[in-house]
């Protein structure tokens, strides 16, 4: 038995087989080969393997996301059969005598540049695809592992770290628990684990040994431990603890349908945070009063190109319809920092959390913003929609946003496209917004406090930096005062104020929030009933 320790993100126990998640990262080297024809043969084998991978991905995507989403894998498959591309790679190996992985890479880059310089938008967009397929084949040649999970049974995922763009691609129904070597308890990996309601450990002192793949293991989220090949008595003890936890969970189920009200009659809304259409089921199952934060940027992650207005419209429409009239607060695109998608071609920055992200991108690349706003306003006909804007620091930004929104509405009206009323608010997640919340409150219909970023910026502590976790104090008086001040200013202006950061689920603060007059707490679906219990126990 091997015992490893990590920081627990969610209390719970999961037992199952380990699955070593390998990134597609690999080091590409240029080498001379003795026999170019044999190297061409190796290339051909790798190409065929890539084709089979794409076939599997296509089938999986059709089942899970539909034909349209799956199409990209079909396009890649066709590109891998393209005569010009294949001849160019073979020629590169023959004429220069380099290794196949290197030849694939340089040829891919050459073709990508050629596509990028074309006038036709469709062909331009193929530039990213040719890089993608080249990377896939070069990765196989360089011995990199396959990304994603290829397993018939649910597993405990063991990884170095997971970027948000990777987590969106993972099939969540196949994960029992997440264990990473890196990551902080405030990272989006942690948020994902909470939303999935599965045990997770970050900063775990586990080696990613090949031999661990497939080994039985158990994750103890209460103690922050991972046991590989656990001893029988230990496993039995943990499984008993799991049963207890399941029983406590079942007791929480009894709270479904009840109000979030204290014994002295104070009530608060408890909503859920989601990142996808699938999460709506979890929110409904947890009896959430609405969606207080739909992280819309997850629609943009893990793909090769911008989602179209139509695609987004369908997603928002589905979320709104499934929520059946309950409020859905859609947070507009919050890309940048740790949430990266290559096709945005964002510049590398020294300090990305304080950089070009969220509303700053939307206000400077308005075509992206307008597409999203059109989709949201169109979908608003199908339910009770609200929209909020992330990373706001000034009144000027809100006024600019309002101008764009009005323009988008005029455009829709002129095209005869129906749209509904959308309640409009902002996230208060910068100290600047909290400090001038009296001014900002006059401009909008609600506030939602993003305590994850508010804490990071107030304490000047990067929420991703695991070395700083001992300094990260989410209960810091400065953060609590900013929250209190924001709520007060919201109410003085006659608007409501919620909390959608992770702190909203911290039941040791539920009473503090009620005393401050917070109107809504939006938490991961798995925390909804726990927060309800905390409110009712007061």
Active site residues: 188, 500
363 and 372 in contact (C-beta within 8 Å)? no
Q: Does 429 belong to an annotated binding site?
A: yes
- Relative to beta strand 216-220, strand 225-228 is antiparallel
Q: Of 212 and 446, which CB lies nearer to Mg ion in the complex structure?
A: 446
| Closest distance of CB 319 from ligand PEP, Å | 17
Q: Which does 493 bind (CB under 5 to 8 A by kind): Mg ion, ligand PEP, none?
A: none
Largest Cα separation within the chain, whole Å, is 83
The CA angle 424-335-203, to the nearest 5 degrees, is: 120
The CA angle 200-202-203, to the nearest 5 degrees, is: 155
How many residues belong to the site for ligand PEP (CB under 6 A)?
10
For ligand PEP, the binding residue among 501, 514, 518, 532 (CB under 6 A) is 501
| Closest distance of CB 517 from ligand PEP, Å | 19
Q: Does 452 belong to an annotated binding site?
A: yes
Q: Of 453 and 502, which CB lies nearer to Mg ion in the complex structure?
A: 453
Q: Does 295 belong to an annotated binding site?
A: yes
User: How far is the CA of 256 from the CAs of 284, 330, 424, 534, in angstroms?
Assistant: 10, 24, 29, 14
What binding mask, one character per residue, do residues 403-432 give for ligand PEP by CB under 6 A, x or -?
A: --------------------------x---
Q: Does 403 belong to an annotated binding site?
A: no
CA dihedral over 278, 291, 307, 322, signed as positive or negative:
positive
Q: Strand ranges (DSSP E) for 381-481? A: 384-389, 423-428, 446-449
Q: Does 331 belong to an annotated binding site?
A: yes
Q: Is 325 left (phi over 0), alpha (psi -120 to 50) or beta?
A: left
- Indicate whether 334 belongs to the interface with ligand PEP (CB under 6 A): yes
| Closest distance of CB 100 from ligand PEP, Å | 41
Q: By C-alpha distance, which of 158, 182, 201 is closest to 464?
A: 182
- Relative to beta strand 13-20, strand 155-159 is parallel
DSSP 225: E
Q: Which does 500 bind (CB under 5 to 8 A by kind): Mg ion, ligand PEP, none?
A: ligand PEP
Q: Of 199 and 450, which CB lies nearer to Mg ion in the complex structure?
A: 450
Q: Of 99 and 195, which CB lies nearer to ligand PEP in the complex structure?
A: 195
- Indicate whether 452 belongs to the interface with ligand PEP (CB under 6 A): yes
Q: Does 453 belong to an annotated binding site?
A: yes
286 and 526 in contact (C-beta within 8 Å)? yes
Give the relative orientation of helices 121-141 and 67-79 as an angle to the nearest 10 degrees: 70
Q: Which does 279 bind (CB under 5 to 8 A by kind): ligand PEP, Mg ion, none?
A: none
- Indicate whether 450 belongs to the interface with ligand PEP (CB under 6 A): yes
* Binding-site residues for phosphoenolpyruvate: 295, 331, 452-453, 463
Which spans of this chain sit near ligand PEP (rule: CB under 6 A)? 293, 295, 334, 429, 450-453, 500-501
* Binding-site residues: 295, 331, 429, 452-453, 463
């Amino acid at each position: 038995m091997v015992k490893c320790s990590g920081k627990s993100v969610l209390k719970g126990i999961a037992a199952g087989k380990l699955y070593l998640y390998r990134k597609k990262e690999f080091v590409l080297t240029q080498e001379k080969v003795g026999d170019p024809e044999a190297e061409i043969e190796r290339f051909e084998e790798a190409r065929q393997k890539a084709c089979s991978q794409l076939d599997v991905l296509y089938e999986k995507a059709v089942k899970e996301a539909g034909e349209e989403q799956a199409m990209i894998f079909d396009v890649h498959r066709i590109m891998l059969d393209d005569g010009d591309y294949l001849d160019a790679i073979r020629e590169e190996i023959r004429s220069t005598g380099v290794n196949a992985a290197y030849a694939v890479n340089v040829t891919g880059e050459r073709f990508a540049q050629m596509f990028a310089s074309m006038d036709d938008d469709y062909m331009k967009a193929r530039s990213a695809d040719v890089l993608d397929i080249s990377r896939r084949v070069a990765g196989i040649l360089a011995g990199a592992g396959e990304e994603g999970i290829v397993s018939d049974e649910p597993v405990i995922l063991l990884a170095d770290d997971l970027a948000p763009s990777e987590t969106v691609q993972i099939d969540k129904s196949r994960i029992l628990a997440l264990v990473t070597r890196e990551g902080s308890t405030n990272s989006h990996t942690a948020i994902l684990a909470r939303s999935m309601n599965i045990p997770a450990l970050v900063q775990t002192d586990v080696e990613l040994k090949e031999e661990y793949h497939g080994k039985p293991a158990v994750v103890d989220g209460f103690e922050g431990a991972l046991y590989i090949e656990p001893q029988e008595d230990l496993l039995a003890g943990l499984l008993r603890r799991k049963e207890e936890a399941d029983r406590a969970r079942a007791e929480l189920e009894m709270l479904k349908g009840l109000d979030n009200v204290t014994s002295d009659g104070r009530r608060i809304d408890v909503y859920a945070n989601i990142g996808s259409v699938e999460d709506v089921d979890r929110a409904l199952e947890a009896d959430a009063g609405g969606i207080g934060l739909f992280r819309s940027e997850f629609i943009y992650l893990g793909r090769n190109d911008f989602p179209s207005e139509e695609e987004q419209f369908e997603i928002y429409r589905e979320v709104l319809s499934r929520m059946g009239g309950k409020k859905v607060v859609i947070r507009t695109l919050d890309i940048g920092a740790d949430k990266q998608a290559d096709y945005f071609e964002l510049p590398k920055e020294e300090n990305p959390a304080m950089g070009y992200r969220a509303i700053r991108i939307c206000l400077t690349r308005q075509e992206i913003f307008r597409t999203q706003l059109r989709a949201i306003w169109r979908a608003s006909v199908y339910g009770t929609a609200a929209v909020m804007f992330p990373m706001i620091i000034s009144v000027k930004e809100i006024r600019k946003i309002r101008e764009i929104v009005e323009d988008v509405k005029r455009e829709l009206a002129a095209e005869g496209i129906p749209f509904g009323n959308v309640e409009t608010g902002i996230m208060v997640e910068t100290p600047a917004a909290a400090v001038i919340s009296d001014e900002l409150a006059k401009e909008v219909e609600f506030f939602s406090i993003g305590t994850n970023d508010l804490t990071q910026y107030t304490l000047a502590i990067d929420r991703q930096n695991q070395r700083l976790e001992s300094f990260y104090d989410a209960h810091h008086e400065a953060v609590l005062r900013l929250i209190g001040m924001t709520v007060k200013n919201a109410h003085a202006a006659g608007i409501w104020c919620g909390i959608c950061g992770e702190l909203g689920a911290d039941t040791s603060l539920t009473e503090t929030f009620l005393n401050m007059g917070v109107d809504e707490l939006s938490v991961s679906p798995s925390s909804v009933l726990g927060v309800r219990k905390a409110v009712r126990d007061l």
